[in-house]
Amino acid sequence: MSQQKGFHVAVVGATGAVGQQMIQTLVKENFPISKLTLLSSARSAGKVVEVNGQEITIQEAKPESFEGVQIALFSAGGNVSKELAPEAVKRGAIVVDNTSAFRMDADKPLVVPEVNEADLHQHNGIIANPNCSTIQMVVALEPIRQQFGLKKIIVSTYQAVSGAGASAVEELMQQTKSIIAGETVEPKILPVSSDKNHYQIAFNAIPQIDKFQDNGYTFEEMKMINETKKIMHLPELQVSATCVRLPVAVGHSESVYFEVEKEGVSAQEIKALLKDAPGVILQDDPENQVYPMPANCVGKNDVFVGRIRKDIDEDRGFHMWVVSDNLLKGAAWNSVQIAERLVELGLVK
């Protein structure tokens, strides 16, 4: 972290599962920082954290907290973003927002740098960071869209509990211990803390992530559907999703079925494309049982792809398995990467 030259950066939600990764990622990526302001709710205000050998006191996030801030990374829930992101912009900051508050606003870019970096130029102070499951899927699909066109996607996800926050990770750990000890458990957080019913996640699979919508899809599924079309600039793309929570701490997995526009494409051609694609690591060698798994992706910025094969019946259909660290490329790294691009493009005041 450079002290002499750099930007005044604020992290909102600094004590959360995503916020902690944001701080670590800023340090790891050597982001040019002159001052780091860490914000949370009143609950954590006053806590001292060490960042790169320097002690920083967490403060309660308020409109005045953003005086002098140039870049604000928000990850404290949609309501906090709706209230405070405009206050940060008013004070001259550029906001990268990790919540779903602004993602579908027509005047706010929704950006995955490997896919639609150019959209950053259209910003009005706020740039939205997409949903974690969407990000890793579009990173893997964009090179395929560019080469062969993209007609349809059907995705099923296998998502880690850390997507639902630090308390969900704690619930998985405690529940697992209790069940092994033969004790009864009382689920309190998952699938959605504010919903009526809570279910056991340890040794289970829950087909609900975020709240149900009137059409029978969950909000997480609708985020994947709507955000994919916006990021790829393909309003006509057919997308459907089923999102499932697994007892995995970190790392989302996805089984992605997709249909390309071009006829006669081979699985080999798709593999060759992904081998050199930005942000992608191809791990596809069935003979040697090589394929991506969440346990191997934790702590890495990349999107890992394997199990690429042609559909048995549909010439234009393919299947693949996509895994990434949901807290990094799915959240903290994509946000810091956006901030890096904003600096390089001269868009930070």
User: By C-beta, is 205 or 272 nearer to ligand 12T?
Assistant: 205
Residue 44 interacts with which of ligand 12T, ligand NAP, none, CB < 5 to 8 Å by class: ligand NAP
* Residues in region 154-213 near ligand 12T by CB under 6 A: 159, 163-164, 209-210
The active-site residue out of 123, 132, 243, 297 is: 132
* Residue of closest CB approach to ligand NAP: 16
Residue in the structure block whose two tokens are 């699979």: 205
Is 243 one of the catalytic residues? no
- Cis peptide, bond prior to residue 278, ω within 30 of zero: no
User: By C-beta, is 62 or 275 nearer to ligand NAP?
Assistant: 62
Binding ligand 12T by CB under 6 A: which of 99, 116, 175, 228? 99
Q: Does 230 bind ligand 12T (CB under 6 A)?
A: no
Residue 169 interacts with which of ligand NAP, ligand 12T, none, CB < 5 to 8 Å by class: none
**Interface contacts to ligand NAP, rule CB under 6 A:** 13-19, 40-41, 43-44, 61, 75-78, 80, 98-99, 129, 131-132, 163, 165-167, 330-331
CB of 335 to ligand NAP, least distance (A): 8
Q: Does 9 bind ligand 12T (CB under 6 A)?
A: no
Residue 293 interacts with which of ligand 12T, ligand NAP, none, CB < 5 to 8 Å by class: none
Cβ-based neighbour number of residue 263 at 10 Å: 8
DSSP characters over 209-275:
-SPBPTTS-BHHHHHHHHHHHHHTT-TT-EEEEEEEE-S-SS-EEEEEEEEESSSS--HHHHHHHHH
Distance between CA atoms of residues 211 and 270, nearest Å: 35
Q: Does 85 bind ligand 12T (CB under 6 A)?
A: no
Name the nearest CA neighbour of 241 among 211, 259, 220, 215.
220
* Residue of closest CB approach to ligand 12T: 163
DSSP characters over 94-139:
EEEE-SSSSTT-TTS-B--HHHHGGGGGG-SSEEEPPPHHHHHHHH
Residue in the structure block whose two tokens are 């007892």: 247
Q: What is the DSSP letter of 206?
A: B
User: By C-beta, is 164 or 225 nearer to ligand 12T?
Assistant: 164
User: By C-beta, is 18 or 265 nearer to ligand NAP?
Assistant: 18
CB of 108 to ligand NAP, least distance (A): 15
User: By C-beta, is 24 or 291 nearer to ligand NAP?
Assistant: 24
CB of 65 to ligand 12T, least distance (A): 22
Helix, strand, or coil here: 143?
A: helix
Name the nearest CA neighbour of 165 among 335, 337, 326.
326
CB of 173 to ligand 12T, least distance (A): 17
Q: Does 37 bind ligand 12T (CB under 6 A)?
A: no
> Any long-range contacts for 116-123 (C-beta under 8 Å, 24+ apart)?
116/231, 116/232, 116/233, 117/341, 120/338, 120/341, 120/342, 120/345, 120/347, 121/345, 121/347, 123/94, 123/347
33 phi/psi in degrees, rounded to 5: -120, 130
Q: Does 131 bind ligand 12T (CB under 6 A)?
A: yes
The active-site residue out of 8, 123, 252, 297 is: 252
Q: State both tokens at 174.
A: 């405690």
Binding site for ligand 12T (CB under 6 A): 99-100, 131-132, 159, 163-164, 209-210, 223
Residues annotated as catalytic are 132, 252
